[in-house]
Amino acid sequence: MRTLRILAIAPTSFFADYGCHVRVWGHLQALVQRGHEVRLITYPSGRDRPPVPTVRPRLLRRWPVQVGSSWKKLVLDMLLVPLVVQTARVFRPDVVHAFLHEGVALAQLLQVRGVPVVFDYQGSLTAEMLTHRFVSSRSPLLPFWRTVERLLDRRPHLIVASTRHAVMHLVHEVGLPSERVIYLPDSVDPRVFRPAGPQDTSRLNALRVRWRLSAERPVVAYLGLLAPYQGIDVLLAAFREVVLGWSGEGRPLLMVMGFPFVREYTRRAERLGIGEHVRFTGAVSYDEAPDYLRLARVAVAPKLPGSEGAGKLLPYMATALPVVASDTPVHRTYLGDEGYYARPGDAASLAQALRDALRDPEAMQRGRRLRARVEAQYTWEHAGHTLERAYQQVVAK
């Protein structure tokens, strides 16, 4: 395939250390590695992450990272309008790669001029608004936003969707032709996220000292955003059942890695009486995350059902960790029969799944099989190849 000029639009505070941004970076760096020329337009706040060249507005660079829906994002989206036009005039893209629905809206500035648009669909716009309480289910504006979402879903030449559930939604509910929607699951680099080796010993020992981790206590790891829709409230309630009812040696310890609302969840753990059994690290950089996961015996993904993907599973799997997850179609897509499943939102069920994983003598073998699944199906190289074929399809037309 010939070298393409790809203009990516990601209306978010790229780069911050969570799943959406990892997917943006992973796809674009894979395209750079395959020889394509890439430019990424994004919000003023955030940080650059090589090898992806980033273009930002000069204004409002001191605004904090924006997570989820908010009125502030509408202001930031308006800042990107002239930047999209100016960058395209100089860069002359062959194709626009739009992330998030706001990215599709901005891409219309170029689509009307004949530039094809590929949309990376990571979930429903209105579902995110409801999750982050940007609108209420009773709001008179909700039908308006649903209409906007439906119009934006229909605009791109091609959509790459992060879950099979999203593919079915776009084809059967939005009414898109099946040839305009491609399944592109989340990915990871298994050379970066890997099990611990002798070369990691000194760094891991330093982390154990820093976070007061006893070698006798198995660590249960959570890595991701801290919010109710991620199941953090359920996780803390479940872990209370596990740790207070544990018999014998080796009482587990929960390591919660992520942001925001760290202070609020720390207080919740204290109120539940498990403060001494939980470590809240705050945000962990993507570069440090592999070492943090190597400290764990088991990883957990208690996310409630929704239209979004489940990118946090891939680092867990690549590190060869057994994974406890809420029983959703997205989680089963990645974990298959190797996961330990709990009913979504059910603390007692999650507690039992955690106990099962911690006590299962076959848990390590399950983890190794999960890593093998990653190497076979879920690498950035696989994603780059799929995206190249998608571009070829739209550019040819």
Cα torsion angle, 322, 358, 292, 269, sign = positive
pLDDT tens string 66-80: 566 667 888 899 999
Q: Cα(126)–Cα(193) distance, rounded to whole angstroms? A: 33
Position 156 confidence tier, pLDDT thresholds 50, 70, 90: very high
CB atoms near residue 372 (< 10 Å): 14
pLDDT of residue 261: 92
Q: Are 244 and 267 in contact (CB under 8 A)?
A: no
Contacts of 358 (CB under 8 A, 6+ apart): 218, 220, 242, 252, 297, 298
Q: What are phi and psi of 379, to 5 degrees?
A: -105, 160
Distance from CA of residue 29 to its chain's centroid? 16
pLDDT of residue 249: 83
pLDDT of residue 311: 85
Position 62 confidence tier, pLDDT thresholds 50, 70, 90: confident
Q: Cα(64)–Cα(345) distance, rounded to whole angstroms? A: 31
pLDDT of 189 strictly over 90: yes
pLDDT tens string 106-116: 999 999 999 99
Position 64 confidence tier, pLDDT thresholds 50, 70, 90: low
**Amino acid, single-letter form, for residue 123:** G
What percent of the chain clears pLDDT 70, i.e. is strictly above it? 95
Least confident of 1-5, 68-72, 112-116, 164-168: 68-72
pLDDT of 61 strictly over 90: no
pLDDT of residue 263: 96
pLDDT of residue 397: 76
pLDDT of residue 2: 85
pLDDT of residue 143: 84
Regarding pTM above 0.75, the answer is yes
Query: What DSSP character marks residue 50?
Result: T
Q: Cα(129)–Cα(281) distance, rounded to whole angstroms? A: 27
Q: Are 145 and 126 in contact (CB under 8 A)?
A: yes
Q: Cα(3)–Cα(189) distance, rounded to whole angstroms? A: 23
Element (H, E) at 391: helix 380-396
pLDDT of 368 strictly over 90: yes
Position 306 confidence tier, pLDDT thresholds 50, 70, 90: low
Rounded average pLDDT over 184-206? 97
Position 5 confidence tier, pLDDT thresholds 50, 70, 90: very high
Least confident of 120-124, 309-313, 334-338: 309-313
**Amino acid, single-letter form, for residue 50:** P
Nearest to 27 by CA among 389, 391, 381: 381
CB atoms near residue 105 (< 10 Å): 20
pLDDT of residue 24: 97
**Residues, the chain:** 397
Q: Are 226 and 266 in contact (CB under 8 A)?
A: no
User: Which ranges in 112-224 belong to alpha helices (H)?
Assistant: 125-131, 142-154, 164-168, 201-210
What percent of the chain clears pLDDT 90, i.e. is strictly above it? 80
pLDDT of residue 307: 59
pLDDT of 94 strictly over 80: yes
Q: Are 317 and 350 in contact (CB under 8 A)?
A: no
Q: How many CA atoms lie within 13 A of 97 on its CB side?
A: 27
pLDDT tens string 122-140: 888 777 777 666 677 778 8
Q: Cα(268)–Cα(270) distance, rounded to whole angstroms? A: 5
Rounded average pLDDT over 172-187? 95
pLDDT of residue 69: 61
| Bigger pLDDT: 10 vs 72 | 10
| Bigger pLDDT: 139 vs 42 | 42
Q: Cα(152)–Cα(78) distance, rounded to whole angstroms? A: 17
Position 380 confidence tier, pLDDT thresholds 50, 70, 90: very high
pLDDT of residue 248: 79
pLDDT tens string 273-305: 999 999 999 999 999 999 999 999 999 999 987
